[in-house]
Amino acid sequence: MVRGLGVCFVVLMVLGVAAVPSTARVRTSGLESETAPRALVTDGACAGSGIDLIGGPAIIAGGDAGFVVVAYCLLLRRLPDPGGLAYWRAQIGDGTSPVEVVRTLTASEEYRGRGVTSYLDALSRLTLAEDRLQEREQRAAAARQRRMADGVRGDAERAAEQVAQERLAAEADLARRLRVRTEISKADFDARVAGRTTGRTDQVTPALVHEQRDGAGQRINIVYLHLSATRGVAVSPGDRGRSTVGTWAREIGAAVAVNGNWYAPYDGPAVSGGVVYGGTDHFYTALLGFTADGDAVIEHHREVNDRVDDRVVEGVSGHPTLVHRGVVTTDFGGDPTFTTRQPRTAIGLDATGDVLILVTVDGRRPGAAGMTGAETADLLAGLGVHDSVMLDGGGSTTMWIEGKGVVNTPSGALRAVGNQLAVFGD
């Protein structure tokens, strides 16, 4: 989870800083600085940090050293040790920007361990994120009008504010991608499934229904899962290596499993037990992940993120996005992989986020033609899916159900795949 988002901005806003006479000097934990363009930090700003207040507030010298002292004082509530001061002065001298200094300090374990309360839970819904962002922007504007524009302090505050604004924007984006699960009853789940099935169905468990459709040159397997009635979702760990679908699921006692990421060796990131592995996000990958609370984090394949949302504890990536916020995707980037009929594996969630749907489409044999990307998207939309992504297909397409084994017919020998997504029973 993103920790301390916006904290740097809040800390800097509450500190009182003012100009001081040009003849003042300061003792700071054994460091003595000649005066230069400077900032004054009020009593209490670095309480317990070792600042020796001389007749009241401490005077911090200007220049690169002054910037580093102010940044440490405001962000870490202490003065830099001599080694740290020398290091950052050298870094700034070599061209490191104030923003990078502040970004590095706020990413440190020391800063994160200060116990600053995260706003992330409060911003888990988009409307709350937007309200909080607007509130902070208003507070920031009011604070800017009150504070004095001093050289060293101004640089530190502007750098910190830029970092804070970047993080606020990232927080709002994370909230936008979060699908908070609305738990439904068993009766509601049964009614939703009954309204979507057209083939042979089997109530494997109270929370798992398996449907098999044959006809019109297709063979399709569909699993409907009542997520809040299960024990959750799991993705095989990255250090496990390749194995056939179901092998790992049997080991952990799962109820159903399908193949996961496109394997090259991993196209896009995956998450198992909170550990991120695999490839990086890029223009043509989409993550579908789950938080510890069972909520979903859903990305479109056109979204590129430099890291996986910290809330995701289990997740797989695929491409392309098939359905996004209830709208069928037709943008496959001209990828010929999706203009021909092939075996397919897809995963999706309905609008409540409490019904998970797994689909495999057989192909490359008589009576099982496979589907194009557009046909697969239409199939998922017809099942009531609100968000869906395509997983690896072709010879990797495999669905395993406890007590039944592999229920589809893979196009060739059962393949060892890079990872698997499994769901536990009720």
Q: Which of 77-86, 145-154, 235-244, 330-339 has the largest mean confidence?
A: 235-244
Per-residue pLDDT band at 174 (split at 50, 70, 90): low
pLDDT over threshold 90, residue 98: no
**Which of 110-124, 195-209, 412-426 shows the lowest per-residue confidence on average (mean pLDDT)?**
110-124
Instruction: State the pLDDT at residue 405.
Output: 97
Per-residue confidence (pLDDT) for residue 256, from 0 to 100 = 98
Q: What is the DSSP string of 41-74?
A: E-TTTTTTTTEE-SSSSEEE--HHHHHHHHHHHH
DSSP string, 180-194: ------HHHHHHHHH
In terms of Cβ atoms closer than 10 Å to its own Cβ (0-12, 13-18, 19+), residue 164 is buried
Q: Which of 30-39, 172-181, 393-402 has the highest mean pLDDT?
A: 393-402
Q: Would you say residue 406 has pLDDT above 70?
A: yes
**Band of pLDDT at residue 153, cut at 50, 70 and 90:** low
pLDDT of 400 above 90: yes
Packing angle of the helix pair 98-106, 151-177 (nearest 10 deg): 60
pLDDT over threshold 90, residue 201: yes
Count of alpha carbons within 13 angstroms of residue 308, beta-carbon side: 29
What is the per-residue pLDDT across 293-318, written as a single tens digit (0 to 9) for each? Answer: 999 888 877 776 667 888 899 999 99
> Residues 210-223: what's their mean pLDDT?
96
**pLDDT at 175 (0 to 100):** 60
**What is the distance between the alpha carbons of residues 140 and 335, in angstroms, rounded to a whole number?**
46
pLDDT at 268: 86
- pLDDT band for position 124 (cuts 50, 70, 90): very low
Question: To the nearest whole percent, how much of the chain has pLDDT over 70?
Answer: 74
Residue 121, pLDDT > 90, answer no
Per-residue pLDDT band at 1 (split at 50, 70, 90): very low
123-127, 133-137, 272-276: least confident range: 123-127
Does the pLDDT value for residue 71 go beyond 90? no
Per-residue pLDDT at 32 exceeds 60: no
For 360-383, what is the mean pLDDT?
Answer: 96
Least confidently predicted of 112-116, 255-259, 385-389: 112-116
Question: What global pTM score does this model have?
Answer: 0.61
Strands of the sheet containing 218-226, edge to edge, are 200-205, 208-215, 218-226, 355-361, 344-349, 387-391, 321-324, 327-328
- Whole-number pLDDT of residue 308: 84
**34 pLDDT higher than 60:** no
What pLDDT sits at residue 5?
A: 35
Question: Where is average pLDDT lowest: 35-49, 154-168, 182-196, 209-223?
Answer: 35-49
Q: Is 117 a residue whose pLDDT tops 90?
A: no
Specify the higher pLDDT residue, 32 or 209. Answer: 209
DSSP state of 31: E
User: Is pLDDT at 169 greater than 70 in this prediction?
Assistant: no
The predicted-structure confidence for 7-19, as pLDDT tens digits, reads as follows 333 333 323 332 2
- Per-residue pLDDT of 322-368, as tens digits, reads 999 899 987 776 778 889 999 999 999 999 999 999 999 999 999 99
| Best CA proximity match to 363, nearest among 373, 350, 354 | 373
Query: Structural domain boundaries of the chain?
Result: 7-178, 186-424
pLDDT at 137 over 80: no
pLDDT for 35: 35
Give ∠ CA 369-226-123 in degrees, rounded to 5: 110
- In the predicted model, what is the mean pLDDT of the chain? 78
274-285 residue pLDDT tens: 999 988 877 678
- Tell me if 40 sits within 8 A of 58, measured CB to CB: yes
Q: In the structure, what pLDDT confidence band is assigned to residue 249 with cuts at 50, 70 and 90?
A: very high
Closest CA to 385 of 317, 322, 302: 322
Tokens standing for residue 225: 């899962």
